[in-house]
Structure 1
Amino acid sequence: MFKVKLKATLWHMLLSLVIFTCIIAMFYCGSYAAPLAQAVGFWSIALLILLTVIVIGPCITFLVYRPNKSSLKFDLSFLVILQLAALGWGVFSLYDARPVWIVHSVDRFELIQNNDLYIAETIPKQNEFTTPPQFFAQVAAIELSKDNTQRQEDLSNAIFSGLTLSMQPSRYVSYQQVQTVALRNAHSLQELNQFNSRADVDEILKKYPNSQAYIPLRAKQQDQVVLVDAKGDIVKIVNLRPWD
């Protein structure tokens, strides 16, 4: 009896592991491509899905599985439904929280996730930023309004409502429109040595010799660094600390 239960549990665990691996690989190679996974806490959600699908589910299978049990089909069917529901919740959570925009704002980039977006009803349909990217985060920028009243309103929204311009696609412009200003406000690569080990900085900069400066990337879980070249074009996002 024990061997039969163990075999059923192991098969359940193996199948769950295959499904889990495929889903995580799809997200990690797409919207959460490194190093953005670390920036938004991707692995915390992945671990929760892992515990639910691969550990808890098979353990319950081990407890309820008896070959001659009259209600075995019902028990296993109910367990499968619960696991699929848990897996569906996990997939939706990852999809809904996926990084969608890397938005330059004044002197930094901000990593905006899908569930951070505020979609105004008045957003022009022809706006290229109307629909968030489905698979890979894209670059955009914010250009501050020249109207003083609008700037005061934007500041008030950010302070009292937490609604920053970076969360509003209706206010996005292409990064190329602010690229000159972005480069002007960029930091010297030497500053990275103040917040990271020199060995880590040297190793990364050797991989990207075209880098001439960096711009901080603000994210929910871990801030990172955007390397730019002499024209302000983005070279690479790297997992270094941009500040204390």
Structure 2
Amino acid sequence: MNRFKASLLHLFGSVCVVLLVFLLVRLVWYPGRFFEAASGTELMLILTLVDVVLGPLVTLIIFSPAKPSLKFDLTVVVVVQVGFLMYGLWSIYSARPVYIPFDEDRFYLVTANEIDPEDMKKAKNPAFQSFPHFGPTIVGTALPDAPDMREKIKVGGMVGMGIQVLPQYYVPYGQAAASVKAAAVRARELKGEIITSDEDIARLSDYEAKKREGGRAVRFVRLVSKKVMLYVAIDEMTGAVVEIL
């Protein structure tokens, strides 16, 4: 076997492994539009460049059938590549979306690395003492009764550290459905929002019309993320989540 065949074989194996990782990330940890909203694209690109490009490239450079230490060298390359893969996989897992809490008039996309483990320990509801592993969970929030804590949370919200990243104040979505329903608006009512593009309004209006034709009225609530603005379609009658767009 020459170096080119060895490199191609290494490339094929690397592509198969990264493809399996991509399916796990895309379908389980970052489903739907969360792949774009939570920087899944960038993280997968980095992992792909390291494991699919660099590994086979190193094999192409060092491979020589007459080299006495060839097996050892290739073993080192594979071990290092697997190490990078595990590190990249852990980085993607640690930054995955875990919760979609509702507060006041909007939802927030919260990733695992935004929540302090100490805050999770304070959660009274056992469901919020650990992260979901298969996609984010939609929840409500409830401010504490103490005025000083309420003020502290509001101040923290000004710098992105508000109630949305405090699991001790999460409540099951059913307890917040009425508030979500009250905050939901029609697509055309989003037009006054600077962060809502004309393209989004047109897309949501089409979605609203199709649902209406099917006998279901929906309204929308903004879902704030660091990358893009998403929208949660809400059943007008029940407040139940229909879809994230």
SS of residue matched to 2:29:
coil
TM-score normalised by L of structure 2: 0.88
Partner of 1:153: 152
Cα distance in 1 for partners of 2:60, 2:121 equals: 55
Could you say which residue in structure 1 is the equivalent of 2:204? Answer: 201
Secondary structure of residue in 2 paired with 1:128: helix
In the TM superposition, what is the alpha-carbon distance from 1:122 to its structure 2 partner?
Answer: 5.4
Q: Please report how far the alpha carbon of residue 186 of structure 1 lies from its aligned counterpart in structure 2 after TM superposition.
A: 1.6
Cα deviation code 1:189-235 (max 9, x no counterpart): 22356623365335434554434210000112112010101121111
Contact 2:100 2:109 in 1 (8 A): yes
**Matched ranges for 1:219-234 at <5 A:** 219-230=225-236, 231-234=238-241
Deviation at 1:125, TM superposition (A): 5.8
Which residues in structure 2 correspond to 1:42-191 (within 5 Å)? 42-119=40-117, 120=119, 123-124=122-123, 126-159=125-158, 162-191=160-189
Shift of 1:9: 0.5
Q: Distance in 2 between matches of 1:103 and 1:96?
A: 18
Question: 1:125-146 CA deviation, whole Å, 9 max, x = no partner?
Answer: 6532111101121111112234
Matched residue type, 1:9: S
Q: Secondary structure in 2 aligned to 1:140?
A: strand
Q: Deviations over 1:70-121 (max 9, x none)?
A: 1211211111111011101110011111111011111100011111112327
Q: 1:242: which partner in 2?
A: none
Gaps of 5+ in 1: 239-244
Please report the TM-score for the alignment, with normalisation by the length of structure 1. Answer: 0.88
Alignment length (residue pairs): 235
AA aligned to 1:204 is: Y
Which whole-Å CA distance do the structure 1 matches of 2:136 and 2:164 have between them? Answer: 14
Contact conserved, 2:155 with 2:162, CA < 8 A, in 1?
A: no
Answer whether contact 1:110 1:166 (CA < 8 A) is retained. yes
Change (3 A) 1:79 1:109: same
Q: Distance in 1 between matches of 2:186 and 2:89?
A: 40
Matched residues in 2 for 1:15 and 1:73: separation?
17
Q: Cα distance, 1:187 vs. partner?
A: 2.1
Q: 1:189 to 1:203 in 2, by over 3 A?
A: closer
Which segments of 5 or more consecutive residues in structure 2 lack a partner in the other structure?
none
Task: Give, as a single letter, the amino acid of the residue that structure 1 aligns with 2:227.
Answer: Q
Alpha-carbon offset, residue 166 of structure 1: 0.9
**One-letter code of the match for 2:181?**
L
Percent of aligned positions that are identical: 26
2:243 equivalent in structure 1: 236
